[in-house]
Amino acid sequence: MIKDAIASKRAEFGIVYGRRSIGKSSLLMKAVSRKGDLYFEALQNVSLKKQIDHFLYQLAEQTKTPRSVAGNWREVFDIVTYHTKTNRHYVVFDEFPWMASGRSELVSLLKYYWDNHWKKNPDLTLVICGSIASFMLKHIVHSKALHNRKTFEIKLPPLTASEAKLFFKNLRSDFEIARFLMVFGGIPKYMEQIDPRLSFSDNVDRLCFQKNGFFVNEFETIFKEQFKVVKNYESIVKVLSQKNCSKEEIGKHLKISSGGGLTSYINNLEQADFIKVFTPKAPFGASGKKQKNLFYGMNGYNFISIILSRTGILSNLILSLGCLIKLPDKA
């Protein structure tokens, strides 16, 4: 899709998003091939001045021109316009939510520059990328300002089973690979942590339960990054790591009513891919997607369940896999 957009004869505006570590940057970087392509990656948690400095540093490195001076994003976008006015350019703004500091003003400016400058170059392909699902969905994908501007959109899915299988170099059986995928999902970064010479149980032990294991703090890190206040989100995930539940059941466990924000907590968790919704099978011709019939459960990335088990909650997942994971002493 990206290659087609770059080859097309009109200005293209793409949106690429997905959970952390799913391979967004790798995918976008693969398409960088020509002189004139520009790939910007924003920094997390830095001041506007540092963000702009970093942007200009990347611009100077990639265009092999002296470092420009700019005090605000408008001046930065003027410089980008200067460099991309004519000829073929593939321009990526990676980690856009960080570039925008989580606010929507930069989206308005983006719209202005797209409408008044960038879309006038039919050889330009602009891609906005980010992993903070709530920001990307609210301010980019469903943005009113960018309405009718986007020409393609990719929500990057996890690797398929056959893609993930390549990480195991024929060293593990299909059954064992299936276990890995049920626990870690097809997240490339997580696949890279697995030592294919070791069994499933030894890998889980090493990665999830040993001091400094890769997954020990992963849940907390990505959760905190996604949600400003994590308490209610964490409680919902804990309930769902035990069993799939309807919204009413979740509400009962947590003593929160729909009016108390439960629906929005659940929707945010679903959008961020932590949980998924199951629609009951409907008879032919009937829609099964009635709110009251929906069930929620953990998504494939169920390492979260394992991590939660460190605090004494033994996940159904571990039981159902029947694997010989060494459970830790209670935290």
Ligand X SMILES: Nc1ncnc2c1ncn2[C@@H]1O[C@H](COP(=O)(O)OP(=O)(O)OP(=O)(O)O)[C@@H](O)[C@H]1O
Per CB under 5 A, residues contacting Mg ion are 24-25
The length of the chain, given as a count of residues: 331
Nearest to 109 by CA among 132, 142, 85, 143: 143
Q: Give CA–CA dist 295/244, Å, rounded.
A: 6
State yes or no: residue 20 binds ligand X (CB under 6 A): yes
Residues of this chain, 216-275, that bind ligand X according to CB under 6 A: none
Q: Give CA–CA dist 99/44, Å, rounded.
A: 8
How many residues lie near ligand X (CB under 6 A)? 11
Closest to Mg ion by CB, 225 vs 234, is 225
State yes or no: residue 196 binds ligand X (CB under 6 A): no
Residue type, 261: G
User: Which residues in 54-212 belong to E strands, given as ranges?
Assistant: 89-94, 124-130, 152-155
Q: Give the shortest CB-23-to-ligand X separation in angstroms.
A: 3
Using the contact rule CB under 6 A, the part of the chain among 22-30, 31-39, 281-289, 305-313 near ligand X is 22-30
Please, what's the b/e burial string for 69-105 (b: 16 or more CB within 10 A of its CB; e: otherwise)? ebeebeebbebbeebbeeebbbbbbbbbbbbbeeeee
Per-residue interface string for the shown chain with ligand X, residues 111-140, x marking contact by CB under 6 A:
--------------------x---------
Q: Give the shortest CB-89-to-ligand X separation in angstroms.
A: 21
Q: Which residue is nearest to ligand X (CB)?
A: 23
Q: Which of 8, 21, 134, 242 binds ligand X (CB under 6 A)?
A: 21
Nearest to 137 by CA among 269, 228, 297: 269
Among Mg ion, ligand X, none, what does residue 20 contact (CB within 5–8 Å per kind)? ligand X
The burial of 50, by beta-carbon neighbours within 10 Å (0-12 exposed, 13-18 middle, 19 or more buried), is given as exposed
Among Mg ion, ligand X, none, what does residue 21 contact (CB within 5–8 Å per kind)? ligand X
Q: Give CA–CA dist 65/171, Å, rounded.
A: 49
Closest to ligand X by CB, 183 vs 321, is 183
Q: Give the shortest CB-24-to-ligand X separation in angstroms.
A: 4
Among ligand X, Mg ion, none, what does residue 189 contact (CB within 5–8 Å per kind)? ligand X
The answer to whether 13 and 119 have CB atoms below 8 angstroms apart is yes
Per-residue interface string for the shown chain with ligand X, residues 23-42, x marking contact by CB under 6 A:
xxxx----------------
Q: Give the shortest CB-220-to-ligand X separation in angstroms.
A: 16
Among Mg ion, ligand X, none, what does residue 316 contact (CB within 5–8 Å per kind)? none
State yes or no: residue 316 binds ligand X (CB under 6 A): no
Residues of this chain, 52-71, that bind ligand X according to CB under 6 A: none
Closest to Mg ion by CB, 94 vs 123, is 94
Q: Give CA–CA dist 40/94, Å, rounded.
A: 6
Closest to Mg ion by CB, 25 vs 62, is 25
Q: What residues contact 219, with CB distance under 8 A and at least 6 apart? A: 303, 304, 307, 308
Q: Give the shortest CB-77-to-ligand X separation in angstroms.
A: 23
Q: What residues contact 250, with CB distance under 8 A and at least 6 apart? A: 236, 239, 240, 262, 266, 296
Nearest to 1 by CA among 153, 188, 142: 153
The torsion angle over the Cα atoms of residues 316, 318, 320 and 326, rounded to 10 degrees, is -130
Q: Which of 138, 150, 189, 206 binds ligand X (CB under 6 A)?
A: 189
Give residues in contact with ligand X (CB under 6 A): 20-26, 131, 188-189, 192
